[in-house]
Structure 1
Amino acid sequence: MNAPVQHPGDDLLLAHAAGQLAAGPAILVATHLEGCAHCRERMRTLQATGGALLESLPEASLPPDALARTMASIDALHRPGREWPAPVQPTAHPALPDGMSWPKALRGCQASRWHWMGPGMRWSRVTVPYDPAANVFLLRIAAGKFLPQHTHSERELTQVLYGRFHDGRAMFGPGDFDDTDPTIRHQPVVQAEGECICIASVEGRVVFDGFIARTLGTLVGM
C-alpha cells in the first residue's frame, strides 16, 4: 500500500495565496503545487474564501495621492537603465537523473554544480535573483546513505523531487512535502532502491548533533 502524500499545512497555503511568504518558502510551496492537484484545489478554496472576506469588509477611502503614488511605482519599474537579472534556466546546472525535470518554480533561479559534502552526499546552491538572502539548496543523497541526526533553529521546508527517505517519523517519496521546526529531531535515511533528490528552504540553521556534521552544515549554509 502506498503511503499518503505529505502536504503543506493550510497556514503555508494561505500565506502563499496572499503573497506573504518569503522567497524560499514560496518556491518550496510552488514546487509542491505543481504536482499536487489536492493542494491546488485547496488553494482555490482558500483564495475564494479570502475574496469573500474582502467583499464583506466595509468600504474605506483612499488617500488623495494614492493614484499618483501607484503610477509613480509603475513608472519606476520601467526606468531607463534599470538592470534586471536575466532569467536562467537551471536545467543543466547541475545534471539530473534521466527522466527527471526541474520544477517550473525554479525558473529564473541559478543552481550551482553538485558539491561534495560527504560519501554519497552532494548539494547544490540555488540562487534566487530577486531575493539573494533566500537560503535554498538541493540535496542529492545516494541509496542507503543518511544525513546526521539534527533539529532546526527555525523552520525548514523540504520537497522530495526524486527517490524516497524515511526520517523515523514517516516515509517521504516523490511529491511529498516536509515541514519541520525546533520541535522535530530526525535523521533522514535514503531507501535502498535508489538515490534521493530534495529541494529545501532553511530559515535559521540546521542544528546537527555532531561537531563534524555541524562544520559541514556551516559550509553548505544549512
Structure 2
Amino acid sequence: MTAALVAGLLAGYGIAVPVGAVGTYLVSLSARTSLRTGVCAALGVATADGLYALAATLGGTALADALRPVLGPLRWVCVLVLLGLALWGAAGALRAYRGHRLATRAASAPPGPARAFWGLLGITLLNPTTVVYFAALVLGAQASGPAGPWEQGVFVLAAFAASASWQVLLAGGGALLGRALTGHRGRLVTALVASGVMTVLAVRMAMAPG
C-alpha cells in the first residue's frame, strides 16, 4: 500500500510539475481573476490527470493479464518509454529556453469558476503524453507483480492528489509567482525537475525484482 502511495505521488508530480501552456494559462488566469476561479481550473487539470491514471490502471491491468508471458521484456520497454519522455521534456524545455518562446496568453474574457474547471479539464484531456505516461508506469508496475484493487485505488488517488496540490499551488501563487514560474528560466527549471522525477521512476522500475 505504501509503495502504491509513493508511486502515485511520484507519478502525479512527474506529469504535473512541468509548466507548459496549460500551467502558464492557469497562473495567469488566477492572477487576472480570483483564487476561486484559479482553484477550480487547477482541479480541472488534476481531474484529467486522475482520469488518465484510472484509465491506465484499469486498461493496464487487463492488458497485463493478456500479455503476462512477455511482461518481463515489456517492463524494459516501459522503462525506455519513461526515459524517452524525460529526455523529450528536457530537450523541449531547453529548446524553448534558448529560443525564448513563451506560451501565448488567451485574449478572451476570463471564465468563471465552472467554465474554468471544464475548460481546463478538456484541454488537459487532449494531451496524449499524459495517457502514454500513465500507461507506461502501470504496465511497468504490472511487470513486477500484479497489484490488487486497493493498491490501484491508492495509486490513482495519490496521482490525483499530487497533481491537484501542484496545480492549486500554481493557482494560489499566480499573483506572486506567476512571472517567475512562467518565465524562461522558471519553465526550464520545472521541466528539468519533472524529467528528473520521470528518470527516477524509470530507474526504480528497472531495479525492481522480477
TM-score by length of 1: 0.21
**Higher percent of residues as strand:** 1
**Higher percent of residues as helix:** 2
